[in-house]
Amino acid sequence: MILIYLFRGYISLLREKYSPGGELFDQLCPLWADLEDLMIVCTSTIRYFGPDRLDITVKSGVKSFAPTWDMVMKHKRGEISDTQYTDRYLRMMRTSYLDNKNGDWSAILNRRRVVLCCYCAPGNFCHRHLLKDILRDLCRVKNIEFVDGGEI
Ligand SMILES: [Zn+2]
């Protein structure tokens, strides 16, 4: 019992030492995930083809987490602001959650690690960051430890 406790402490220490997004962080993530009820959420572009990739684009992704074409095009043309896009997306996701609580949402929350992927360039406004925030909130409610894996 003490050994497990010490080992968990050691793992937490490692987690702090190796910052999210680092290669070693990625390698150690599955190890941490097996030890605790936690969820590691990373973000990346659509060009990421590594483990735990989840396409959340309207073009080819999981529809429960995707925006609409209308929002995407209007945002691209500057017809709706980041704030308006965010409001719409959050509203959509609330409905999506109620509709697919036992489907896509349950599936994503049961994953130990997920990499949310979209076409937007790193550092730009993108719904992958909004979805990460939603998952952070859901983890809090469901007593799952949330780890922000950062942009990879
Ligand atoms: Zn995007």
19-75 pLDDT, tens digit per residue, is: 555 566 666 655 555 556 899 999 999 999 999 999 999 999 999 999 999 999 999
The percent of residues above 90 in pLDDT, for the chain, comes to: 76
Nearest to 112 by CA among 48, 32, 18: 32
How many Å lie between the centroid of ligand 1 and the Cα of residue 119?
5
C-alpha to C-alpha distance for 78 and 23, rounded to whole angstroms = 36
How many Å lie between the centroid of ligand 1 and the Cα of residue 8?
35
Nearest to 18 by CA among 3, 40, 48, 51: 40
How many Å lie between the centroid of ligand 1 and the Cα of residue 79?
16
How many Å lie between the centroid of ligand 1 and the Cα of residue 1?
45
How many Å lie between the centroid of ligand 1 and the Cα of residue 14?
31
How many Å lie between the centroid of ligand 1 and the Cα of residue 66?
9
- Contacts for 59 with CB less than 8 Å, ≥ 6 apart: 119
Please give the residue that has the higher pLDDT: either 20 or 132.
132
pLDDT score recorded for residue 88 = 97
**pLDDT exceeds cutoff 90 at 12:** no
Q: What is the mean pLDDT of the chain?
A: 87
How many Å lie between the centroid of ligand 1 and the Cα of residue 121?
8
* pTM, two decimal places: 0.78
β-strand partners of 117:
44, 55
How many Å lie between the centroid of ligand 1 and the Cα of residue 93?
15
pLDDT tens digit string along 66-100?
Answer: 999 999 999 999 999 999 999 999 999 999 999 99
